[in-house]
Amino acid sequence: MGICGVSWTVLLTLLPQAGAEVGQDPVVGTKINFEREIEPILAARCIKCHGPDKQKEGLRLDRAASAFRGGDSGEPGIVPGDSARSELFRRITANEHDRMPFKGEPLTAGQVALIERWIDEGAIWSENGPVDADQPTHWSFQPIGDPSPPLTGRSWGSSPIDAFVLRRLEEEGLRPSPAADRVTLIRRLFLDLHGLLPTPARVEAFIRDRREDAWERLVNEVLASPRYGERWAQHWLDVVQYADSHGFEMNNPRPNAYQYRDWLIEAFNDDVPYHRFIFEQLAGDTVGVDAATGFLVAGAWDQVESKLPADVALQRQDELTAMVNTTGTAFLGLTLGCARCHAHKFDPVPQRDFYAMTAVFAGVRHGERPLYSKEDALVLSQRAETEVEIESLRSELPRLRPAITSRYNEERFEPVHASAVRMRIFATNGAEPCIDELEIWSGEINVALTAVPSSSGDYPNNPKHKLEHINDGQFGNPRSWISNESGSGRIRLDLSEPVMVDRVVWGRDRHAQFADRTPTNYIIEVRVAPDRWTMVAGSQDRLLAPPPPGSIGGEDRLSSGTSEITRRIFEAEERVRALKTASPDMVYAGKLEQPGPIHRLYRGDVTSKREAVAPDTISVLGTLGLAMDAPEKERRAALARGLTDPSNPLTARVMANRIWYHHFGTGIVSTPGDFGANGGRPSHPELLDWLARQLMRGDWSIKHLHREILNSSTYRQASGPSATGLARDAGARLLWRFPPRRLEAEVIRDCILQLSGSLDLSMGGPGFSTFKPNDNYVRVYTPKETTGPTEWRRMVYMHKVRMERAPLFGAFDLPDAGQVCPKRSLSTTAIQALNLFNGIFVLQQAQRMAERLTELGGDPVEHAYRSAYGRKPSTREASAAETFIKEQGLAAFCRAILNSNELVFLP
C-alpha cells in the first residue's frame, strides 16, 4: 500500500508512461490539471492493469481528501504548492530502501518532474481549481441548520419537538402513545432529574393540582432543587472519567479532587451557561474559578516515573493524550486520540491537529494547586497589579544592585592589585556602625584573615565588640566590631602582601539576630600605591532600603529623581506585604507552567520528533491563530472560545444530544461520544439541529433545553408496549412510547436509602468511602462489611476508586473511570439480582425501612407502596402483602419492595 492508503500500481496511473497513447503533454505555460491531463491516463492505466471489472476500484485513488491528508505515517501526502513537504514526492525520490513503488523500476526523471510541477503549481485536481482537501462531507461537520417544525397529518402535541417526532412516526407507519398518568409522570420526572423518589405528599399534591400549567410548574420546581445538580453532575463525571484516586498500580487517593465535583454540582444547579461551563473547565484559573479546571486532570495518572528518558516522555505523552481525548469526547463528540499515531482513519483530523491540541494542554501537569476564595482571588489580582507596578518603576532606575541587608552583602569589582582595603561609613540605620566580619577575597582565598586591622575608633569596654573581631573568621554579634562614632566610622585592613582582590563581603550580623547599626551609606576603597586609594564599591549603586526610625547619618546618596522612584517602590512593596490571603485549600486541578515546544511525533513515537506545532484547535474548525510560544493560559482560553464559537457545528449538537440521551435512554445520535463517520447517524437530524439552535438561542442555558424537552408530549407519553410498535421499532428509537429502562446504580442505592429513612442529604465536601482504610504504598481496596450513617450520603459523594468496582452496586454497569464514558452499558445479569437480594446493605436498609413503617403507624403496606411507587396497592397486592408479612415478617416485605422492578425502572 502507498502513503495514501492505496495501491502503488494505481499511483503509477497518475503518470504518463512511456508509449502511452492516452492524454497529451501539458502545454508549456499552463498549469497541469488532474481531471484534464492526468485522470484519463489514470482510467486507462487502471483498465489495463486490473481489467474492466476492477475499474471502479482503481479509480478510488482520485479521492482528494485521502491523497492530500496522507496515510498511516501521519505525513501529509500532498502539500499544494510545496513538493518538498509532500510525502508523495519524498517517497518517489527516496533511496532504494524507502522508495516507491516498492517493486519494479523507479519512476523516470520525466515522471518525477511532472509530479513535482503538479504539486508546486498547487496540485489542481479539477477544473474548478484547487481542491479543499480538508472540506468534510460528513453530516456532523456541516453548519447547524435552522429547521422549522414540520407540518404533519395529525394534531398531536404542542411542542416543535412533537412535530419532528410525529413526522418520523408517520413515515414508519407508527402512532404516538397516549399521555402517561400523573403518578407515572411525577415519578419519571423526579427519578430523571433528581435520581430520587417524590414523597407521597408531593405525588398527592400534583394529582390534585388541576391548573393548566401544573406540569410546567412541577418541572420548574424540580429544576430549582439542589438535588438536580447532584443527579446531572454524575452524568458529566462519567464523561470526564472522574475518580478520587490516580489509577495504575499504586492507585493512591486524590484527597482534594472532590473540589471539582462540588463545582460541577453547583454549576448545574446555577445553570451556568454551557459556553461558560466549557470555558471554566478549560481555563477557569483565568477567571478565578480554579476548581473547574479539575476537568483537565480528571483522568488517570501514573505516579511511578520511569528512570529512562524515553519512558518518561511516553508517560507524559499518555497524560496529554488523555486530556486531548477527554476534551474531544466531551465537547466535540470526536475520538481525537485516534489521530495520535496517524491521520484519523474516519474523520477529518490530521495527525498534526492532534499535536496542535496537545500543545494547548502542554503546560498542564497532574497535581494540586491552591484554591483561593473569590476574596483571595481579588487580593491576588491586586498583588499582581502592584508587582507589575514595582517592576515598571524598577525599569526606570539606573542599573542598581540589591538593597543592603544586615546579614550579608557582597561587593564585586574588577580585579585590582591592592596592599590594603578600607571601608568608610557615613550613615547607619541607627547608632554606631557595627561590622560582624570584613572579608577580602583574592580568588578563593580570604586574605583578610592574615591582615592587620585598624580603625577610626572602637566601641569602649565591651568584650563582644573588639577590633580584632573584624577579621577573626568568626561570625555573629559577639564577635563583631563597633565604631565609637554615632552614625559613622572607618575600618582598615593592611594585607600581609599585595595581591589581586576582586570582592569584599561584609555584614552587620551573619547570624541574623541583630539588624540595628547596619551601615546604609558607605564606600570601599583599595590602596593601589603607598599614597593612593581608589574606590571600588559602595552604597551609591544599591537600591535603598526603607529608612527606619532613628536612622543616623549623611545625606541621601542618590539623585532626587532616583530617590522619588525608590520611595514609590518602598511604598508599593509595603502594599504587597499588606495584601494577605487566608491559607488556601488545595484542589486537584493541575499544576500550570509555560511549556516548551511541541512536535508532531512520527507514528506517535516520542523519539521520532518531526516539525514543531503551534497550539490550535482541529483544522476543520478553523484556527486559534496562536504563536508557537503563546502564554500557557491563553492557549486554553483561546481553545474554549473556539469551541463555543456559534459557527462550530459540533459543540451545541453534542450537548443537545447528550441531554436528550439522558432523558430518553438513547440519543438522537446513538453514540454520544462519537459524532464522526464511525459513530451513529441521527434518527431525527432536523430535530437535533433544532435543539442545538434552542441551546444557543436560549443563552446556552441547559435548564432551558430541559424545559423544551420535558414539556413536550413526546416526553409525557406512556411507556406501555404495543404490538405494532414492538414489531417496527422494538427499541422505541423513534419514540412511539417513552422508553422504560433500568435506573443507574446511584439512583437505585439512593432510593433504597430514601425509603429506609437513612439518606443524608448533606452536600459537598470530601467524599465517604465504602472501602477499609489502609496506608499501603500500593493501595489495596477491601470493601467494608457494613456501612453506617457516615456512608449514607448520596452516591455522587462516594469516594470513587479508579479501576475498582464499587461494593454491591458496581455490578450495575458502574463505570470504573479507566476511560471516558459518554454512554454507560446497560446489562441485566444474575449477579445484579443476587447482590440486590442478598447484599448486607440491602438487608440492613430493609430492616430500617420496616422500623420506619412501624413508627409511622397505620397500614405499613399502603405506606410502603405510596413511598416506593407513588400509589396505593391494589386489593390483590394488599392481600398478598399482608399474608407475606404474617409468614415472613415486615423486613422481608420491605426487602421485596427494594428488589421490585417497579422501583428500579424509570417508568
Summarize pLDDT for 681-721 with one digit per residue, the tens.
999 999 999 999 999 999 999 999 999 999 999 999 999 99
Same domain, 406 and 516: yes
Summarize pLDDT for 93-136 with one digit per residue, the tens.
887 777 776 666 777 787 778 778 888 888 776 655 444 545 67
Closest of 810, 807, 808 to residue 782, by C-alpha: 807
Cell of 580: 494577605
Domain boundary residue among 524, 546, 562?
562
**Residue 259 domain flag:** no
Q: How confident is the model at residue 546 (pLDDT cuts 50, 70, 90)?
A: low
What is the model's pTM?
0.75
Q: Which is more confidently placed, 650 or 572?
A: 650
Least confident of 89-98, 181-190, 468-477: 89-98
Same domain, 599 and 556: no
Same domain, 409 and 547: yes
Tell me the C-alpha distance between 179 and 187, whole Å.
14
Same domain, 509 and 438: yes
Same domain, 417 and 552: yes
Same domain, 427 and 522: yes
Domain boundary residue among 542, 562, 582?
562
**Residue 116 domain flag:** yes
Q: What pLDDT, on a 0 to 100 scale, did the predictor assign at position 71?
A: 63
Domain coverage including residue 125: 1-130
pLDDT above 90 covers a percentage of the chain that reads 70
Same domain, 406 and 334: no
Domain boundary residue among 98, 130, 162?
130
Q: What pLDDT, on a 0 to 100 scale, did the predictor assign at position 10?
A: 41
Per DSSP bridges, beta strands 552-553 and 437-442 are: unpaired
Same domain, 358 and 306: yes
Same domain, 556 and 413: yes
Question: Over 60: is that where the pLDDT of 13 sits?
Answer: no
**Residue 601 domain flag:** yes
Mean pLDDT of 274-286: 96
Mean pLDDT of 162-189: 96
Tell me the C-alpha distance between 422 and 533, whole Å.
9
Same domain, 307 and 441: no
Quick count: other Cβ atoms within 10 Å of Cβ 857?
8
Summarize pLDDT for 28-45 with one digit per residue, the tens.
556 766 565 545 433 433
Same domain, 411 and 547: yes
**Residue 680 domain flag:** no
**Residue 440 domain flag:** yes
Tell me the C-alpha distance between 523 and 540, whole Å.
8
Summarize pLDDT for 131-144 with one digit per residue, the tens.
454 567 899 999 99
Report angle CA 632, 637, 641 to the nearest 5 degrees.
150
Same domain, 475 and 607: no
DSSP state string for 387-403: HHHHHHHHHHS-S-BPP
Summarize pLDDT for 873-898 with one digit per residue, the tens.
999 999 999 999 999 999 999 999 99
The Cα-based distances of 489 to 390, 410, 492 in angstroms read 34, 19, 10
The domain total for the chain is: 4
Cell of 715: 416526553
Tell me the C-alpha distance between 469 and 855, whole Å.
88
**Residue 145 domain flag:** no
Three-state DSSP state, 882:
helix
**Residue 867 domain flag:** yes
Tell me the C-alpha distance between 154 and 532, whole Å.
113
**Residue 381 domain flag:** no
Mean pLDDT of 714-732: 96
pLDDT above 70 covers a percentage of the chain that reads 88
DSSP state string for 434-458: EESEEEEEETTEEGGGGSEEEES-B
Q: How confident is the model at residue 172 (pLDDT cuts 50, 70, 90)?
A: very high
Question: Is 455:467 a contact under the CB 8 Å cutoff?
Answer: yes
Q: How confident is the model at residue 83 (pLDDT cuts 50, 70, 90)?
A: confident
Q: What pLDDT, on a 0 to 100 scale, did the predictor assign at position 5?
A: 39
SS3 content of the chain, % helix, strand, coil (to 5): 45, 15, 45
Tell me the C-alpha distance between 205 and 183, whole Å.
11
Question: Is 260:842 a contact under the CB 8 Å cutoff?
Answer: no
